[in-house]
Structure 1
């Protein structure tokens, strides 16, 4: 996640020089898919609030109920959008319960609207949160939706985001300041311990089955392993060891024969695992998320 930190710092420097007013833009991500009208209904609500709003999609293919993946994509996405952009992230298995619903102003000058269920975990760490307001959704929801309890993405979050992005209501106008911290998902942060590099598998490069870790290149380099030297790779799901092998540390896929595994630095300057012309995740039954731990070391 090193690249995200660098980009976030760039945006924080820009934020100090510019006002963080809502931009009239909303970016959506959900686990809804596109096989029904759910996403279009959310956008329709926003357009009813203000037809001039610009509405964009990140993805609607987050695995169902996968709050961690929502958190990862959100942190990855935010720094590339103009200040004032409002992000609506709805992966909300606790919809209709007592879980929080918030508007957050980020230190980068962006805004988040959605559930307080762990979706802000990585944003809070890598970008920072200036203020969080609990949404009073008895007052701030789509008129006529009071008896709807299972589609807050449409009835509350898209409606609130539209009023925020259009400048109709400021962030602090939706409810009181949240007491305490936002909900955070615990996970293994990248670190060097006893001559090993520890981390998690935050996400898969899903099209190719490459396995990405949160162990940054600079952290890994503290092990003193040079290019073309072997690396021991251990992967755990919780306490269960799923994989244990030795493979070379190289620059790119073609540096090993077809079908061979490799350790490399991915496009976000973090360590990753792959099989040249193969699918590492599928071959070794590896997935991603906060329970998927990885250990890199000398053999």
Structure 2
């Protein structure tokens, strides 16, 4: 089922040779592989972000594509190394540390196998404990992507329900408001991507051009409160004006037309960043 496509993600950055070493290991396994990059700019150690970027990307790749995601603050510890087979028949090679959370919830996982490091680890690297991205994940990913091993040969089957999941914030719906968290940024443009889905927001029966009171808290501290227009796209408001919109993942987003919302108001991400969107009575 593999198709020679290997897509790499990490928090390694491109300032040194780490990513290049992973590519080299993959191409040593098979020169036929086509290696692509999802991103290597995941915030260091941020498993949630790594999980989210996989969810943002995988469904746009063909069946049989193999993803390697290495955001691994627990490298060298007892955390398991796994390969997940998604409902869309793609492979994700990663530490079992929460990276699979969004894939399990939003895409679906058919099966998970623990990587047998006896069989599926680069030879003569058993004394290296800190670069599993190269020695275990890129290596196993390349073997899978090239068809040199089957999914069954990865290692023993695990229960899908036993994989580690990151806790997420449940949406709270009221008669005239919706509450959630700020999951992640559209980094380059500084827009906020919330945990509130389009369907949840639509229970407030919004119409384009409606205004909502948006309140953002960091824990209990009020960081932002303003009336914001709901628009179809950024051009629906003047340059410099804020906008509520539905992003490419069908989540509620918050942006400033041609500006960075995150920088303008010093907004961060994570479960301690709460957002409330409340209908304004006419």
**TM value normalised by structure 2:** 0.92
Cα distance in 2 for partners of 1:79, 1:119 equals 16
Q: How has the CA–CA distance of structure 1 residues 237 and 146 changed in structure 2, closer, same or farther, with 3 Å as cutoff? A: same
Provide the rounded CA distance (Å) in 2 between the counterparts of 1:228 and 1:242: 24
Tell me what 2:240 maps to.
Answer: 259
Match of 2:184 among 188, 198, 203: 203
Question: Residues of 1 paired with 2:138 and 2:239: CA distance?
Answer: 47
Cα offset for 1:39?
A: 0.8
Q: Does 1:229 align with 2:210?
A: yes
Alignment check: 8 A CA contact 1:26 1:165 kept:
yes
Shift of 1:229: 2.6
Q: Which residue does 1:161 correspond to in 2?
A: 141
* Aligned-partner Cα distance in 2 for 1:81–1:37: 27
Q: How many residues align?
A: 279
CA drift at 1:207: 1.9
Partner of 2:267: 286
Q: Separation in 2 of the partners of 1:51 and 1:256? A: 50
More divergent stretch after superposition (90-99 vs 191-200): 191-200
Structure 2 vs 1, CA of residues 240 and 186 (structure 1 numbering), >3 Å: closer, same or farther? farther
2:127 matched residue in structure 1: 147
Q: Contact 1:233/1:295 (CA < 8 Å) preserved in 2?
A: yes
Quick one: structure 1 residues 116 and 234, their matched pair in 2 at CA, closer, same or farther if it must change by over 3 Å?
same
Flag the 1:277–1:50 CA change in 2: closer, same or farther, 3 A: closer
Show the counterpart of 2:82: 102
Match of 2:231 among 250, 259, 269: 250
Contact 1:142 1:156 in 2 (8 A): yes
TM-superposed CA distance for 1:268, in Å, is 3.4
1:122 aligns with 2:102: yes
Q: Please point out which of 10, 32, 41 is paired with 1:61.
A: 41
Q: CA deviation at 1:46?
A: 1.1
Tell me which residue corresponds to 1:86. 66
Following superposition, the deviation at residue 191 of structure 1 comes to 4.7
Describe the superposition over 1:251-299 as per-residue Cα deviations: whole angstroms up to 9, x where unpaired.
3334333333222233333322122332211111112234322211124
Q: Is the 8 A contact 1:188 1:198 kept in 2?
A: no
Cα distance in 2 for partners of 1:126, 1:163 equals: 27
Q: Report the Cα offset of residue 189 of structure 1.
A: 3.5
Choose the corresponding residue for 2:5, options 3, 25, 31: 25
CA distances 1:109-157 after superposition (whole Å, capped 9, x unpaired): 0001110111111100111111111112133211010100000000000
Is 1:215 equivalent to 2:196 in the alignment?
Answer: yes
One of 2, 21, 30 as aligned partner of 1:50: 30
Q: Give the structure 2 partner of residue 188 of structure 1.
A: 169
**Residues 231-240 or 142-151, more deviating:** 231-240
Give CA-to-partner distance per residue, 1:73-126, whole Å, 9 cap, x none: 101111111111110000111101011110111111000111011111110011
Contact 2:169 2:195 in 1 (8 A): no
Runs of 4+ in 1 over 4 A off after TM superposition: none
Task: Say if 2:1 is the partner of 1:40.
Answer: no
2:279 is matched with which residue?
298
User: With structure 1 as the length reference, what TM-score do the two structures score?
Assistant: 0.87
Alpha-carbon distance in 1 for matches of 2:219, 2:25? 41
